[in-house]
Amino acid sequence: MLLLLYHEGPSTRGIFRRSANAKTCKELKEKLNSGDDVQVDGESVFVAAAVITDFLRNIPDSVLSSDMHGLWMEAVDTENRAHKIEAIKSLVNQLPEANLILLRHLFGVLHHIEQNSGVNQMNAFNLALCIAPNMLWLPSPTGPEEESRSTKKVAMLVQFLIENSAEIFGGDIASLFQRPDKKKSKNSEDSLGKLMALCLPGMFEIF
């Protein structure tokens, strides 16, 4: 699904914003939960976006770790860009390996989509509005004012992560998403394979 979004998302208007067919999403999630091999070639890119968003929303304690919520908010408030990047990189490296690899691929996709926002109309701000509510939340219930402040700051954090993904997550992100039939695709296959091995066993059952 990440490969599908990487290659088709940049040319798809309203990706992550437009809704997908609910029945098709449910059927795809059921296939994923069954443990069977699932072929996503030919699948709607909107369905892929919706299923991945739903997956993120149902990760216990959030993919960015709700226990680190206060630290993320402090990093967002850092005014100096270079210091902010270093603070965020430090927090990213404190996450479990599965989370880190998932985030590196996810923000690689989002940055790639944002780079073509003239076509898809989804710049980093718009993407963050769609994705941020599924990335990080408060560790315990609070009042509406605190939740509103948190929502705005998390959106700012996600926008910053999209815009600076290469500096924060490092490496040649484009190499993660090369088509299998292209030369030098082994790194892509190895990286995605590791992502699946770390993230998938049992985790799709959180849907």
For 97-113, write each residue's pLDDT tens digit.
Answer: 999 999 999 999 999 99
- Separation between Cα atoms, residue 194 and residue 115, nearest integer Å: 26
Q: Tell the residue number behind the tokens 């290469």, with chain if given.
A: 166
Residue 191 has pLDDT above 90, yes or no: no
**Closest to 2 (Cα-Cα) out of 89, 118, 109, 156:** 109
Question: Residue 205: pLDDT band by 50, 70, 90 thresholds?
Answer: low
Question: Residue 184: pLDDT band by 50, 70, 90 thresholds?
Answer: very low
Of the listed ranges 29-38, 58-67, 91-100, the one predicted with least confidence? 29-38
The residue ranking higher by pLDDT, 198 or 56, is 56
pLDDT, mean of residues 79-106: 96
Q: Is there a contact between 90 and 107 (Cβ–Cβ < 8 Å)? A: no
Contact residues for 154 (Cβ-Cβ < 8 A; gap 6+): 72, 132, 133, 135, 136, 137
